[in-house]
Amino acid sequence: MLTAINASIRPLVEGYVERLVAGLEGHRIETPARIARSNGGAELAGSLLRRPVVALLSGPAAGVSGAAEVARDAGWEAADLMTLDIGGTSADIGIVRGGRAVLSSEEHVADFPVLIPTVAVSSIGAGGGSIIWLDPTGSLKVGPRSVGADPGPACYGTGSLIPALTDAFLVAGLLEPGQRLGGKLPLQLLPARDALAKIATQLATSVEEVADGVIRIAIAMMTAEASNVLARRGVDAPRFRMVAFGGAGPLLGALLAEELAIDTILIPSHPGALSALGAARADLEGDLVRPVYAMLGKVAPERLSDLLRSLEGTAQQWIAMQTERIPCSAAHTDIAAEMRYDGQGYDVTVPLDRAWLLDGDIARISIAFHEAHRATYGHANQDAQIWLKELRAHIVGEMPKLRLAPLQAASATSSGATRPLRLLGQNFTASVIDRGALEGTIAGPAIINQMDTTTLVPPGWLARRIGAGALVLERVAEGAAA
């Protein structure tokens, strides 16, 4: 299946790379092009063309890697994070552990498994363009279908009256009539109300109640998906922090965090461009696999050492080829194994010390698997036999990182402005401020505007701008924000 997918997309990727290379040459840029990969890193375009399937999920992966980067910029070194990327069609949830994006070899595109190391991202149809509808029982639903960019939500003013989540944001006051999407397209309240009115009439309720209900449903959907993702990764949510980005991630991030008992959120300087920034700042990263498919106890020690040397030799060749014209500051290779208990239907990724493989230390490898299984699933079976599926090498060539200048204050800020807000069944008056004008701390309820997103600071939360230019949202004890 992987070969079929690779063959299917290769002509498209070849055409893209040809245009990219021609454009660089036309601008006399001699640095060889690199392409983002699904593992969160990048690879020279020339070598990636042989296996373009490794870039199939590069967009969401770059977002998670970008989140890890901006967290480091903010002083969150080796952080444990949940990432929330909400765009026009979906809400994407990823995990960063110890400052590095969590990889999986069991991701899917539609119904097809993509058995290559990929940043683990889970998506649900709850983006800004997700359609609001009623099922046959009269229950209010959101997504998974989307109106897309054309015609877009009704508030785009294109003539469409298909209600979408962005229409609910506008009616609820999370967005402002006339606010320009991406600094260009003004949002129109009347078409949004008309689109939601069709739903409100069928439910015998108000347009405002429909908007509020839709937002609650979207948050509930994200909460359910995020809880599943965190549980699968063995994550204790209250010990994690969140990075929210994309066009609507900062708008809903705090509402989702409240449901997950997460108390701290980072909003990057440019949330709408974080995936692009993640790709631009990506290290060179490659993955190698050596199949084993044997009971761990029956693998000859010398076979383990031979596999390790083979992996490391190929890794050295790969990084040498990638850095021939673009030197890296440092390079290293991490070794791991995909393992499972006999009869188990899923694998556990187990980081390994190369000394264990060189010495053929089966006992120590077994202990590492039990510990990894217990950390992820809360239990281990010391008496069960263990399958060693494959050994993996993850190669990293560290590259110089781009830095972004903090946002500057707009020439005309909205400092001191307020607007009504309907949120989770209650009415509030929210402060409204331009992000570039924010100094010190602002208490919720508040709306912080910028060109590529809107950040909601709910009641009981504080927002402050930190030195790196990012925003940090923190939940405070009841009454403390006053």
Q: Coil, strand or helix: which one is 58?
A: helix
pLDDT of residue 238: 80
105 shares its domain with 181: yes
Asked whether residue 38 is domain-assigned, the answer is yes
Q: What is the CATH number of the domain that holds 265?
A: 3.30.420.40
Q: Which helix (H) or strand (E) holds 432?
A: strand 426-434
39 shares its domain with 100: yes
Structure-token pair, residue 215: 């937002």
Asked whether residue 405 is domain-assigned, the answer is no
- 246-266 in b/e burial notation, b at 16+ Cβ within 10 A? bbbbbbbbbbbbbebebbebb
How far is Cα 190 from Cα 109, in angstroms, rounded to an integer?
38
448 shares its domain with 360: no
pLDDT of residue 292: 94
Number of domains comprising the chain: 3
Which residues, at least 6 apart from 326, have a Cβ–Cβ distance to it below 8 Å? 31, 32, 34, 44, 284, 399
Asked whether residue 407 is domain-assigned, the answer is no
Q: Coil, strand or helix: which one is 421?
A: strand
pLDDT of residue 411: 44
Asked whether residue 404 is domain-assigned, the answer is no
Last residue of a domain, one of 363, 398, 433: 398
339 shares its domain with 224: no
- Considering only CA atoms, which of 439, 442, 440, 417 is closest in space to residue 429? 417
pLDDT of residue 395: 95
Last residue of a domain, one of 234, 265, 283: 283
166 shares its domain with 224: yes
206 shares its domain with 330: no
Asked whether residue 410 is domain-assigned, the answer is no
97 shares its domain with 177: yes
90 shares its domain with 238: yes
Mean pLDDT in consecutive groups of 10 residues from the start of the chain, 482 residues = 82 90 91 90 89 88 93 90 93 92 74 77 90 94 89 91 95 92 86 96 95 96 91 79 95 96 94 91 92 94 94 95 89 94 89 94 96 89 94 92 63 67 92 89 94 94 88 80 44
Asked whether residue 435 is domain-assigned, the answer is yes
Asked whether residue 406 is domain-assigned, the answer is no
Q: What is the CATH number of the domain that holds 289?
A: 3.30.1490
Contacts made by residues 323-330, CB under 8 angstroms, sequence distance 24+: 323/284, 323/397, 325/31, 325/32, 326/31, 326/32, 326/34, 326/44, 326/284, 326/399, 328/283, 328/284, 328/397, 328/398, 328/399, 329/398, 329/399, 329/400, 330/397, 330/398
92 shares its domain with 218: yes
431 shares its domain with 391: no
Domain of 423 in residue numbering reads as 417-475
Last residue of a domain, one of 225, 251, 283: 283
pLDDT of residue 404: 67
pLDDT of residue 354: 94
Asked whether residue 409 is domain-assigned, the answer is no
9 shares its domain with 135: yes
Residues β-bridged to residue 244 = 84
CB-CB neighbours of 345 under 10 Å:
6
**Which position has the token pair 């508040």?**
446
Q: Where are the beta strands (DSSP E) in 258-382?
A: 264-267, 284-295, 330-341, 348-352
Name the pairing type of β-strands 264-267 and 241-245.
Answer: parallel
pLDDT of residue 111: 64
341 shares its domain with 270: no
Q: How far is CA 119 from CA 94, 115, 274, in A?
A: 8, 12, 15
